[in-house]
Amino acid sequence: MPLPAGVGYLATDWGGFATTVATAAATLTGLLFIAVSINLKRILDYKPLPGRAAQTLFFFVLPLIFALLLVVPLQAQKALGWEFIATAVVTWAAAQVVDRQTGRSEYEPQWSWLVTRVLPMGGSCACVLVAGISLLASVGGGLYWLVPATVLTIAAGLVNTWVLLIEIVR
């Protein structure tokens, strides 16, 4: 069954998705804070881990922000598009600043750094950016770009939270 024309561009049709994403992101942010609280000393003792914890926070905050923007009542499509663009750019820039300040361990292979930090953040921010541009142009998928952004951020955030909660103890 084909989707009705325009459903990818009508924020009013995405309220359930936004509510689910916001709830999941907020809950996972709480889990991250528990993981950091439990293992704070170990995290602070290993140079790259505070940055990884901060980036994990970005992984959960990005979908939380775009979900909250999505449920603003009677918001114009163009305004939402610009908000998504700004959210993607600011999140990407902030994550890069944190990543550059904390660096990576000499024991961490470059592929691991790329797979756990650079690619998930870049991919998810790119999806939100494309969603914003698509809303402005009214073509290209619109809000459907938020689905891969959500899956990518939550998956990467869960992997990082697992490392901060469980793997760090090994």
- Please tell me the predicted confidence (pLDDT) of residue 104: 67
Provide the residue type at 40 as one letter.
L
Per-residue pLDDT reduced to its tens digit, 64-106: 999 999 999 999 999 999 999 999 999 999 998 988 787 666 7
Q: What is the pTM of this model?
A: 0.90
**Domain extent listing, the chain:** 7-169
Helix axes 48-70, 146-165, angle to 10 degrees: 150
Name the strand (E) or helix (H) holding 127. helix 119-137
**Backbone phi, then psi, for 97, in 5-degree steps?**
-60, -50
Residues of the chain with pLDDT under 70: 1-5, 103-105
In whole angstroms, how far apart are CA 110 and each of 6, 103, 114? 42, 11, 6
